[in-house]
Amino acid sequence: MADDKPWALISEVGREGYIEESVDILKRHFHIVCHKDFLQNPALHGPKIQAVFMWNCCPAAEPSLLKSLPSLKVITNGGVGIDHLDVSLINSFGVKVANTPGVVSDATADIAMGLLLASARNIVEYNMIAVDPKTNYVPQNLMGVEVTGSTLGIIGMGDIGYKIAQRSKGFNMRILYHNRNRRSAEDEQAVGATYCKNMDDLLKESDFVALAVSLTSKTTGLIGRRELSVMKPTATLVNVSRGLVVDQDALVEALRSGTIRAAALDVTHPEPLPRDHPLLSLPNALITPHIGTNTFATTMKMVERMVENAVAAVKGLPLPDEVKLK
């Protein structure tokens, strides 16, 4: 019966929240309360909420919220990254945490290749020329760089990094990778990837460097002034991981000085950047607003996976994607 459905807290519908079609998936299994409605009467809604569906880091899992949800069993996050969640704190309330690995990998790898291609071939600049009413010729000095046959260095060869490698193979790219753990010989052979134990070796040789790591204390500031100086002056940095993986001040300097050719970023810190941030005015910086998973199909898969985890938690079953502290 519909009245037997458990209750869940969500951020909002529309704007920065859930698209209407995905809300239908939530409603099949849960009664839902939007965060703004919850805040109007926490005493009414708090005791019955058993799941929080977190989207774009909202609603934030702050202690004040956790204390107001005595029946909460799970926070399920839309996406892989959990750097915005204090898992230890959440677990201390007897609440489990889940994310949605796997289902986001293809779309994120696609945007990485899209950014790489758009930056290499000046696609945004050429679009502006093409639609400018004053255009009466195409300048020939706006030359791009070759992608086919170039060298791609992937830092972070997890599921997303590996799918980037699969796509780059179609461009006959030479693939180097650096990862905490080396992939199997079969994985390497399947995409023609060469392991670089020393990240500097990858940086020195790559025409494109793609970042696909999780944000941790070890990867924060992974690419700084020194690492950028090791890269080729003709190289492009592509980031689809997290903004804090790159020292943005150092990146601005490197782009201004010609230390590297360009940067193509789907992530920054913060998001969005302040409107006067220097990255936004650099002609060799291509930025998209963290849209790696923003396709209809992937969004629906993410919400379906979130629901699977939440239903399991409510029923006291093992979560398919529980995040556990190591």
By annotation, the residues acting in catalysis are 242, 271, 290
CA angle 238, 234, 270 (to 5 degrees): 30
Provide the greatest CA pair distance for the chain.
67
Q: ω into residue 283 within 30 of 0, thus cis?
A: no
**What's the one-letter identity of residue 11?**
S
Rounded to 5, what percent of the chain is helix, strand, coil?
Answer: 40, 15, 45
Helices 105-120 and 123-131: angle between axes, nearest 10 degrees: 70
Token couple for 96: 């489990």
Measure the CA dihedral 283/289/292/297, to 10°. -130
CA angle 85, 89, 91 (to 5 degrees): 95
**Cα 244 from Cα 118, distance rounded (Å):** 23
- Return all residues near 194 (Cβ < 8 A) that are at least 6 apart: 174, 175, 176, 177, 188
Token couple for 133: 């009413």
**What's the one-letter identity of residue 21?**
E
**Cα 293 from Cα 142, distance rounded (Å):** 31
Nearest to 325 by CA among 13, 97, 39, 1: 97
